[in-house]
Amino acid sequence: MTVDGRTKRAEASREQRRAQILERALGVFAEKGYHGASVSDVVKAAGVARGTFYLYFDSKEAVFLDLLDELLATLRAGVGGMDVSRGAASMEDQLQGIVVRLLQTTESNRELTRIIFREAVGLDAAVDAKLREFHDGLHAWLVVALRVGAQLGLVRENDPEIVATCVIGMVRETIHRYVVQSDAPFDADAVARGLVKLAVDGLRP
Amino acid sequence: MTVDGRTKRAEASREQRRAQILERALGVFAEKGYHGASVSDVVKAAGVARGTFYLYFDSKEAVFLDLLDELLATLRAGVGGMDVSRGAASMEDQLQGIVVRLLQTTESNRELTRIIFREAVGLDAAVDAKLREFHDGLHAWLVVALRVGAQLGLVRENDPEIVATCVIGMVRETIHRYVVQSDAPFDADAVARGLVKLAVDGLRP
Amino acid sequence: MTVDGRTKRAEASREQRRAQILERALGVFAEKGYHGASVSDVVKAAGVARGTFYLYFDSKEAVFLDLLDELLATLRAGVGGMDVSRGAASMEDQLQGIVVRLLQTTESNRELTRIIFREAVGLDAAVDAKLREFHDGLHAWLVVALRVGAQLGLVRENDPEIVATCVIGMVRETIHRYVVQSDAPFDADAVARGLVKLAVDGLRP
Amino acid sequence: MTVDGRTKRAEASREQRRAQILERALGVFAEKGYHGASVSDVVKAAGVARGTFYLYFDSKEAVFLDLLDELLATLRAGVGGMDVSRGAASMEDQLQGIVVRLLQTTESNRELTRIIFREAVGLDAAVDAKLREFHDGLHAWLVVALRVGAQLGLVRENDPEIVATCVIGMVRETIHRYVVQSDAPFDADAVARGLVKLAVDGLRP
DNA sequence: CATGAATGAGTTTTCATTCAT
DNA sequence: GATGAATGAAAACTCATTCAT
């Protein structure tokens, strides 16, 4: 099939429609929760017909999975990497950067973050798998970082499994408190500094 | 009204019925999740008629609230208090005790804990309120403890809001990892020691 | 569980309800056809709530299968057996009896017969299987009868497969014409006689 | 309006498109049945857009009616006429010819025949009317033939209504058994001979 | 108290048909 | 003519809750 002007325009509009439904679905899920929201609510909010929804998504669950993917991708980008080689910025500064980015990313996607924190757990096997994969990936990455840090003498000897769990918990709960549970703006730098100081001092050799 | 023998026996049997339904509901919720479980499942498991269920509970949600209360009460008892007066056991030892008790309590109520962690968030306003109350209570208590500790020179100056959030997150995530996500037994003492060392070193003046 | 008076009454009423829905469903299917009739139509006609329908039947198809079973059982009873031993009533008289009974049975279940003839074919695997089983059973029985008849010199040598097919077709079409397509009463005896004469003369040795 | 070359070519291409959709629809209906097949299936199979389908047919039902017309026309041609004048081929030979032609026609249009036999009954008023018209025409023609045959002494006195019904039933059921229900090839001559012998002997004066 | 049949609002999903491009 | 995105009525089915027995 030739990709002529007509086809291209159609594709663009298709993408727009999809994005529009996705965005409105986000709003509806944020307001009513996944189980509380019906496909009816979503199509009403999106201003499209019932059938149109199913033209773009296979099911209610599929929209949710798409939203989840979106946030997880954004978060992954936000975490980025940490450079543990000598001469790189100090571990403390790097950690500070990561935490700030996470706080900012989640804050600018407050609704989405809220939905994921509140609805995504125990929703469904596919959702669970995605979340768990992200979580486990983070954990594994932290474990490695802690091992390397200990070998380099940057952090004290420790049980990296437990410490990684704790650090993730610190960040998770911080996001929960400042982004999910509250609507108020907050000083991401200061919060991150408090968190990082606790973690880094707790790990000083 | 006089509470004669007949009434007492009736009350006892009433209590038993209730407890039986509650217990079976726990099993059903654990297996299928709150939304996946129907009242039909519960009454079938409990071996009572549909109507009987509503004789003891106002709604499906009410059973869930009762289960939630049960776990929260147990947890509150587990947390107990911490003695910050001079001469008391060291803060580290006290914290260690609390964390171990929390891990043990949740581990011996694994199904219940799992349900709460997986299903309770974002379920409903009443559930949210209960959880939030528990959470906020813990947080407030920790903030006070941190302030007192700082005044006594036991912990360094800090932003107690943030630190409390982090500590709660550490515990929450630890429970999540070792109790909720895994079925394997684990060394609560060792895990708690890792956690507490991180927190206490992080807070050392 | 004890089968006390209460239980027995309940069972009786259950059976009544079921029969009532079945009967009304018959009417609805007869009027609108299987595909044209919705569960809504059935429950409206039966005067019960939507959910009640599903209390007694698993699905729309299940009601249809029940109706089908009912007619097939009645037909089977109507066909009965044929006695090919010497001394029994002449083959012609026996055949006459069977055909008359079939015509009468289908006539007194006109709606049901109509539905089966009009809707049941190609509806669904389960329905097809049931119909085919009945059909094949009849065919096989006729083939045997024809073989025995030929051995006894009662009928001429023939290809029983083909002849059985033709005889079934004669009966099927007769029912179709006089019972399904028309509402008029008819002389079952005379019609059967015409049919049987054709078949028997066609088979005379 | 002048029918110039351009118009003629357009007409030809129109006819081709139509035929192509019709042919593919046949395949789809044969595979999934009328109700099981969606317009989506048809347009996908035909390789045209949804809208194009409605450019050539008014509705899903209309395609079906066209297919039905096609088969009925072919069958009518197959039946042809029977010559009852003296000197013509014997009635037996003529009947044999008709039945063989019917079997061959339906066999070479197996898919179509199958659809008509399985789906066409009770589908819809228009379809029913067409089928009934064909059916009644056949019946009327047979009745006349039987009357004439009786007057000429070719067949015994009989109730032509009933006999015609039986003969049609014989043919219908034979087609059903050998063409519709089975995919196996069969000896049309032999089958027809069996059928015709039964009918003719049954009718011998 | 216990029962379980009955309820009906609400859910997700399908699909024949239309019409702007 | 051709396209295919959009429509929305309608379908089958679920389930928390009630209430007559």
**CB–CB contact A198 B203 (8 Å):** yes
Residue B66's pLDDT is what? Answer: 93
Q: What separation in angstroms does the CA of C122 have from each of C169, D29, D33?
A: 18, 11, 7
Q: Straight-line distance from CA C53 to C1' F7, in Å?
A: 31
Q: Are residues C80 and C8 in the same domain?
A: no
- State chain A's maximal CA–CA distance in angstroms: 65
Q: Which whole number is the average pLDDT over A121-150?
A: 86
Q: What is the C-alpha separation between C174 and C98, in angstroms, rounded?
A: 13
Residue D14 pLDDT exceeds 70: yes
Nearest CA in chain B to A119: B122
Min distance B56 CA to chain A CA atoms (Å): 26
Among A177, A181, A198, select the one facing B202 at the smallest CB separation: A198
Q: Is the pLDDT at D197 greater than 60, yes or no?
A: yes
Least confident of B36-45, C4-13, C190-199, D98-107: C4-13
Q: Among residues C33, C57, C81, which one ends one of the domains? A: C57
- DSSP labels for chain C? ----HHHHHHHHHHHHHHHHHHHHHHHHHHHH-TTT--HHHHHHHHT--HHHHHHH-SSHHHHHHHHHHHHHHHHHHHH-----STTSSPHHHHHHHHHHHHHHHHHHTHHHHHHHHHHSTTS-HHHHHHHHHHHHHHHHHHHHHHHHHHHTTSS----HHHHHHHHHHHHHHHHIIIIIS--S---HHHHHHHHHHHHHHHH--
Q: Is B156 left (phi over 0), alpha (psi -120 to 50) or beta?
A: beta
Interchain CB distance below 8 Å, A122 and B118: yes
B123 and B178 in one domain? Answer: yes
Domain of residue B23, residue span: 1-57
Q: How many CB atoms lie within 10 A of CB A143?
A: 17
Query: Is residue B142 located within the same domain as residue B162?
Result: yes
| Paired tokens of D2 | 């002048």
- Weakest mean pLDDT among B55-59, C125-129, C178-182, D85-89: D85-89
B100 in the same domain as B47: no
- What distance lies between CA B76 and its chain's CA centroid? 7
CATH classification at residue B24: 1.10.10.60
pLDDT of residue A2: 41
Residue that wins the pLDDT comparison between C33 and C121: C33
For residues A167-188, average pLDDT: 95
Q: Do C35 and C83 reside in the same domain of the chain?
A: no
CA–C1' B39–F15 (A): 8
Answer yes or no: is pLDDT of D41 > 90: yes
Q: Do B103 and B155 belong to one domain?
A: yes
Q: What does the pLDDT read at residue B15?
A: 87
CA angle B75, B76, B80 (to 5 degrees): 115
- Nucleic acid strand F: bases within 7 A of protein CB: 1-21
* pLDDT in the model for residue A200: 87
- Both C46 and C71 in one domain: the answer is no
HSE value, Cβ hemisphere, 13 Å, CA-based, for B102: 26
Q: What gap in Å lies between CA B178 and CA B183, rounded to an integer?
A: 8
Q: Give the closest residue to B37 by CA, choosing from B45, B28, B46, B49.
A: B28
What letter represents residue C174's amino acid?
A: T
> Can you tell me the mean pLDDT for D15-31?
93
Percent of chain C with pLDDT over 70: 90
Question: Do residues C22 and C109 share a domain?
Answer: no
> What is the rounded distance in angstroms from the CA atom of residue C45 to the CA atom of residue D97?
51
Same domain, B50 and B74: no
Mean pLDDT of D71-87: 72
Q: What is the pLDDT of residues A5-16, one digit of tens each?
A: 555 566 668 888
Residues on chain C touching D136 (C-beta within 8 angstroms): none
pLDDT band, very low/low/confident/very high, at A91 (cuts 50, 70, 90): confident
C173 and C119 belong to one structural domain: yes
Could you tell me the distance in Å between the CA of residue D61 and the C1' of nucleotide F8?
21
Longest Cα pair distance anywhere in chain D, in angstroms? 64
Q: Is D70 buried (19+), middle (13-18) or exposed (0-12) by CB count in 10 A? A: middle
In chain A, DSSP assigns E strands to none
Residue B170, domain CATH: 1.10.357.10
Closest residue, chain C, to D36 (C-alpha): C123
For chain B, how many structural domains are there in total? 2
Proximity of residue C39 CB to strand E below 7 A: no
Nearest nucleotide by C1' position to the D39 CA atom: E16
Mean pLDDT for the stretch of residues B160-183: 94
CB B173 within 8 A of CB A168: yes
Do B61 and B124 meet the contact criterion of CB atoms below 8 Å apart? Answer: yes
* Cβ-7 Å neighbors of strand F: A 10, 13-14, 17, 48-52, 54-56; B 38-40, 50-51, 53-54, 59-61; C 9, 38-40, 50-51, 54, 59-61; D 10, 13-14, 17, 48-52, 54-55
pLDDT digits (tens, 9 = 90+) for B31-73: 888 888 999 999 999 999 999 999 999 999 999 999 989 888 8
Distance from C-alpha of C173 to C-alpha of C98, rounded to nearest angstrom: 15
Long-range contacts from A1-10, C-beta under 8 angstroms, 24+ separation: none
Asked if residue B177 and residue B130 are part of one domain, the reply reads yes
Q: Verify that C52 and C70 share a domain, yes or no.
A: no
- C3: Cβ–Cβ under 8 A, 6 or more apart, which residues? none
